[in-house]
Structure 1
Amino acid sequence: MKTIFNIIIILLLAIPISFAQTLDDYFKIAAENNPGLQANYKEFEAAMQKVPQMNALPDPTFSFGYFISPVETRVGPQRAKFSLTQMFPWFGTLKAREDAATLQAEAKYQAFLDARNRLYFQVAAAYFPLYELKKWKQIEQENINILESYKTIATRKYENGNSTMVNVLRVDIMLNDAQTRLKILNDKEKPLLSAFNNLLDRDENEPVAVADSLSVENVPGPVSRDSLKSNNPVLSELELKTRASEAGEVAAQKQGLPNVGVGLDYVVVGKSSEMTASDNGKDVLMPMVSVSIPLFRKKYKAAEREAQLNQESFSLQKENVLNTLVSEFDQAKFEMQQQQQLVQLYDEQIQTTRQSLNLLFKDYGNSGKEFEEVLRMQQQLLQYEKNRATALAEFQTALAKINYLTAKTMNNENK
């Protein structure tokens, strides 16, 4: 299945397509390629291999002995002896060990799910700064175009004697500032692309299709501790580790009980020249039963106590993780609300500033005055537009954080 998926991805990338990749597409690529996530999955697969090891019986023991000096018996001299023994743990020991290994493997899978969700958040947190950068570059380029048109107007008015040279110089200063800012933004793109593409394990300079616009969604309502507790893979992992330790405690108790062995001895007996009985030289077949005696109890008690302490540790870790989740959720929710309010504010400010700028520009066109105020208002509009782009990016980043904390994957691929 994985091979088929890889082939499909390669074919899609090779065919010219008319639509850009979405953030969900990048999640899938990251999940397929990221070496850290693949390592987490390999850990789960390795843990699954422990299960058949834990529920297997110990290997049988075969032994052979040869009598250098044959032991004379009634039916003849004993020449050699073969023994085969199989030990059996106490009832329920293998089942307890298997349960512990299975639960540990399930805990590893929950760790893999958390790593996947965390990777999605990291991809989103690296994607939205690219959107912010894209919008800032567009805004800055638009500002340069407007300032160049202002310079043309100011120059014409100066040549006609309707304005002063100072206005032309003011525009030149602002143009130099804007062009420098745009160059810095262009330089900033490379490290952002590198950070994003490294998460997808591909070439650092690979172009990234960034959305043209973002929206502000509804802020999620209050979330209960029980909801976080039931959904978050980290808490599920700790719960499974607790249950694995409980099974390990049972296994430790049963390992402190006797092991029962069943065996068979076969003795090769030679014929005696001094006997004429019918069973002269008859080989001996002897069933055997053995029992181990667990006299040294310290190691078993220590194993039980180790399992109990692990259970207490996992319980405390769960409580600490849950407290952290609640705090981080509240912080992310506040960030969303804050950025939502700022986006609304900047929308209003942009609209009002544009109206004011149009009025000022008309006055300047009629009188040749207030040009400095026109430039100031233009820069104010520029800043509001940049702030709006930043607020949208930070809103979506906070939403991605909430999706991570609540284990809400964007494409629900494993549900």
Structure 2
Amino acid sequence: MKKIIRIISIALLPFMVNAQALDDYLQIAAENNPEVKASYARFEAAMQKAPQVSSLPDPTLTMSAFGKMIETRLGRQEAKFSLMQMFPWFGTLKAREDAATSMAEAGFQQYLDTREELFVKVKTVYAEMYELQATIRIQEENMEVLNTFRELALSRFRNGKAAMVDVVRVDMKRNDAGTEITLLKDKRASVAYRFNALLNVAYDSEVVFPETLPALPEGEGMEQGNIEGDSLFAAHPKMQQLDKQTASYAAQRRAAVKQGLPMIGIGVDYSIISKQTEMNPENNGQDVIMPMLSVSLPVFRKQHKARVKEADFLAEAARQESVAVRNRLRADYEMARYDIRKAQQRIALYDKQLESTGQAMKLLLSSYGNTDSTMDEILRLQQEKLLYQAAKITAEKDGFSAYARKAYLLSED
């Protein structure tokens, strides 16, 4: 039993290593990518808006000194100090705070969307890295097979059973394969640079090219085809962002309505009175303290009505944009599901074709060893096998990229 578990663990090791490597790359990208960091900084800036709009206006302090003393019954008025604090109408500050908070939450959803879009880009380039690495591998395997074919053709030529042209034809294919391998290896650097740019690390940082990609789950792309878009994409950051914006505009409207109501001011006047010298009335020279109450008169209604209309139009724009975004998400989702199904069907087809090609190759090699047939048919079949292998690798890459897009659209981890 332990031996069986060990064999299974060894078989799954490449998938576990690649998954771990990809998770590490995603973590690095989330922490380093400048677009993600800029989006988060904008969210942090938006969070500072709520304390600004929810605070009371600063109180006003007025000081008056009289050049010529004003005579009062209790003495001369030498100076006066006035302190006034204005209070917006009840609920105004709360509405402003709600508007700013909801807009900041919308900014956070934008940050999440930027990060998730980055993850899709990283996974897409990661799949391209796999395609490149796997293509190099099959080309090198093809070169080994061609070397075997050359030895076989050369042996038959020496035995007088084949012409030298068979060896030449194999050499031509070997030259093609060698050049292709060189070009593919040269391409690794440019793909690695593009990958490192997404991670925002040094352009020449070492990148581990994956040997395999996680297999797509069985039946992937077939589910959730009939679910309504309203519920399917409700958790998507773009939809959440627009929902938060709509809530912010509703709070802005409440604040605009309340701004059209009076502001109430509460204050106090303090007058310094000097004593009279000619007479000594009761409370002679006593300073005067006078409470004050003021009310603003919002008689110019045009600005307040304009603020309300502005909030209404912005809310309507957010609602319409929400419909447009939902439609785009649905279209992209259906295309991703199609691409997944297409990749699965192509992989299944190429597996069958490769199996048939292997059987045909055995028959051809057996025939070539016992008859006077040429190498042409063997080379043609080997080329078909190489094309099927490359097409399967591309299908695996396309399926992985489509699955990454689907996971992004459904806000799946």
Instruction: Name the TM-score class by shorter chain.
Output: over 0.9
- Over the residues paired in the alignment, what is the CA RMSD in angstroms? 1.4
1:73 aligns with 2:72: yes
Q: Structure 2: state its 5+ residue gaps.
A: 1-15
| Alignment match, 1:382 | 386
Whole-Å Cα distance in 1 between the matches of residues 299 and 69 of structure 2?
36
1:373 positional shift? 0.4
Q: Structure 1: state its 5+ residue gaps.
A: 1-17, 410-415
Q: Deviations over 1:344-371 (max 9, x none)?
A: 0000000100110111011112224231
Whole-Å Cα distance in 1 between the matches of residues 296 and 17 of structure 2?
71
The letter for the 1-side match of 2:189 is K
| Alignment match, 1:279 | 283
| Alignment match, 1:100 | 99
Contact 1:61 1:86 in 2 (8 A): yes
The letter for the 2-side match of 1:209 is V
| Alignment match, 1:50 | 49
Which range moves more in the overlay, 18-27 or 292-301? Answer: 18-27
1:64 positional shift? 0.8
Decide which of 297, 300, 305 is 1:296's aligned counterpart: 300
| Alignment match, 2:150 | 151
The 5-angstrom pairing of residues 218-297 of structure 1 reads: 218-220=219-221, 221=223, 222=225, 223-297=227-301
1:83 aligns with 2:82: yes
1:152 positional shift? 2.0
Whole-Å Cα distance in 1 between the matches of residues 52 and 352 of structure 2?
67
- Percent identity over the alignment is 42
1:408 aligns with 2:407: no
Q: SS of the counterpart of 2:245?
A: helix
Contact 2:233 2:329 in 1 (8 A): no
| Alignment match, 2:109 | 110
Q: SS of the counterpart of 1:231?
A: coil
The letter for the 1-side match of 2:359 is Q
1:209 positional shift? 2.6
1:216 aligns with 2:216: yes
Contact 2:166 2:374 in 1 (8 A): no
1:123 aligns with 2:122: yes
1:341 aligns with 2:345: yes
Whole-Å Cα distance in 1 between the matches of residues 259 and 60 of structure 2?
20
Contact 2:29 2:200 in 1 (8 A): yes
Whole-Å Cα distance in 2 between the matches of residues 111 and 146 of structure 1?
52
The letter for the 1-side match of 2:347 is V
| Alignment match, 2:13 | none
Q: Deviations over 1:33-80 (max 9, x none)?
A: 111111111111111111111211001111111001111111111111
Whole-Å Cα distance in 2 between the matches of residues 256 and 144 of structure 1?
81
Decide which of 376, 391, 401 is 2:395's aligned counterpart: 391
The letter for the 1-side match of 2:383 is Q
1:271 positional shift? 1.5
Whole-Å Cα distance in 2 between the matches of residues 86 and 363 of structure 1?
103
TM-score (norm 1): 0.92
Q: SS of the counterpart of 1:85?
A: strand
Whole-Å Cα distance in 2 between the matches of residues 55 and 297 of structure 1?
23
Q: SS of the counterpart of 1:230?
A: coil
Contact 2:77 2:272 in 1 (8 A): yes
The letter for the 2-side match of 1:388 is K
1:19 positional shift? 4.9
Q: SS of the counterpart of 2:234?
A: helix
1:22 positional shift? 2.5
Contact 2:263 2:295 in 1 (8 A): yes
| Alignment match, 1:6 | none
TM-score (norm 2): 0.92
Whole-Å Cα distance in 1 between the matches of residues 205 and 113 of structure 2?
27
1:314 aligns with 2:315: no
Which range moves more in the overlay, 149-158 or 358-367? Answer: 149-158
1:159 positional shift? 2.4
| Alignment match, 1:366 | 370
1:280 positional shift? 1.5
1:295 positional shift? 1.6
Contact 2:106 2:244 in 1 (8 A): yes
Contact 2:162 2:374 in 1 (8 A): no
Distance 1:370 1:166, change over 3 A: closer
| Alignment match, 1:3 | none
Which range moves more in the overlay, 51-60 or 271-280? Answer: 271-280
Whole-Å Cα distance in 1 between the matches of residues 173 and 202 of structure 2?
37
Contact 2:230 2:326 in 1 (8 A): no
Distance 1:210 1:227, change over 3 A: farther
Q: SS of the counterpart of 1:161?
A: coil
Distance 1:224 1:206, change over 3 A: farther
Q: SS of the counterpart of 2:233?
A: helix
The letter for the 2-side match of 1:117 is E
1:33 aligns with 2:32: yes
The letter for the 2-side match of 1:216 is L
Contact 1:99 1:247 in 2 (8 A): yes
Whole-Å Cα distance in 2 between the matches of residues 330 and 192 of structure 1?
29
1:228 positional shift? 2.6
Whole-Å Cα distance in 2 between the matches of residues 114 and 294 of structure 1?
42
